[in-house]
Copies of this chain bind each other. A is one copy, B any other.
Amino acid sequence: MFDWTSLASRALLLLILVYSSSFMFSSKKWSPKGLHVYITGGSQGLGLALAKLVARKGAHVSIVARTQSKLDDALKELEANRQSPDQVFKAFSFSLDTAKESAAALQAASDAHGGKVPDAVFACAGAAKPMYLLEMQPEDLSSGMTNGYWIQAWSAFAAAKQMVRENKKGKIVLVSSTLGYMSLIGYSSYSPAKHALRGLADSLHSELMLYGIDTHIFFPPTMYTPGFEEENKTKPAITRTIESADEGLTAEQAAAGLLSGVEKGHAHITADLITSLFRASTRGCAPRSNAALDFVLDLVALVGIPIWRRSVDKQVLAHRAEHREYLRTKGLVD
């Protein structure tokens, strides 16, 4: 019995191998050396780590963030990573949460390079404010979308248009999250924004190939950054408990993973095992980076993720009485 599965599995494996080999030999490595790399959220966390990394690789770097003092400090850190006197490092203070501000920031950085649009735009800006839906005002839900989606989408929008006008075969890189592939209690303002970024990236990937522009999207797990400390201030206790088993990345590890994925030309980039399992099992029609590996990850996810999910559901349900009491003390229920 079960001989059909044996036969089917062999045939499938063969298919996968043949299929994946066609990917493995087609990669030309991209390098930021000598290029103008534009990084939003570049004054701290992932953005700053990435800025330093591409500076060490010989790129011209423009960083954008809101706070001038943080930008000044970041520029000093960039200088410490300078490889050549020719490299241009600039910082620009913009808020980025409207189309207008994002276009103006990109224009300012372009002006510093003879009016030419940057070669690569990394949208690393963003913030999360996890909390219970019951505690949210409508502004909490909408600012989740602004700080998780629009703050990046507007940069991609401005960059794509300008790249096409200049016939620049550039790169646009968005930064989602593990929570762009899945979600859990506490993230109803953040996870929709990170899912939306994935939808935008997949749309742009399909559309911008018309112009030779590459679109990438990165899905980092928990990163130990100033943003993480900020989001912990509002994070529900149950969410923190569920996440306590996660191994996060430092900003430097995440930046290295992101850049490596972009260099290899991966459309969806992950840098840790857990998110890679979600990537493989949430792939849809996203272009694959390594079909054979993704197949194995998908099988692991097939068995592992439902088990994980049940344990999370159990934890949530076990939290019910405590949660009712919490809502009562907050005056949210009678």
| A interface residues (Cβ-Cβ under 8 A, vs B) | 2, 5-6, 8-10, 12-13, 15-16, 19, 99-100, 132-134, 136, 138, 141-142, 145, 149-150, 153-154, 157, 160-161, 164-165, 167, 179-188, 191-200, 202-204, 206-210, 278, 281-288, 291, 295, 298-299, 302-303, 305-306, 308-309, 312-313, 316-317, 319-320, 323, 327, 332-334
Contacts and interface: CB of A to CB of B under 8 A. Distances in A.
A199 B191 CA distance: 5
Contacts of A184: 202-203, 206-207, 285
A255 to B, nearest CB: 25
Given A134-B161, A206-B316, A2 B12 contact: no
Contacts of A282: 281-284
Interface centre among A141, A142, A183, A312, by most B CB within 10 Å? A183
A182 B298 contact: no
A177 to B, nearest CB: 10
What are the 9 closest A-B residue pairs judged by CB atoms, nearest first? A195-B199, A99-B138, A192-B196, A192-B199, A188-B203, A282-B284, A191-B199, A183-B202, A196-B196
Given A134-B161, A191-B200, 19 more contacts: A5-B9, A6-B10, A19-B306, A136-B157, A141-B153, A141-B157, A142-B150, A145-B145, A149-B196, A165-B334, A182-B202, A183-B202, A184-B203, A185-B210, A194-B199, A207-B316, A210-B316, A281-B282, A295-B302
A305 B285 contact: yes
Contacts of A165: 332-334
A199 B185 contact: no
A67 to B, nearest CB: 25
9 contacts: A6-B9, A8-B9, A12-B299, A132-B207, A142-B150, A182-B286, A185-B207, A193-B199, A281-B284
Nearest to A19: B306
A12 B303 contact: yes
A116 to B, nearest CB: 15
Contact of A204 (B188, B288, B323): B188
Contacts of A312: 206
A150 B145 CA distance: 10
A10 B317 CA distance: 34
A204 B278 contact: no
Contacts of A180: 199
B333 A164 contact: yes
A2 to B, nearest CB: 5
A302 B313 contact: no
Contact of A183 (B6, B12, B206): B206
Given A141-B153, A160-B133, A284-B281, A207 B182 contact: no
Given A199-B192, A202-B183, A154 B138 contact: yes
B186 A207 contact: yes
A292 B316 CA distance: 26
A282 B202 CA distance: 13
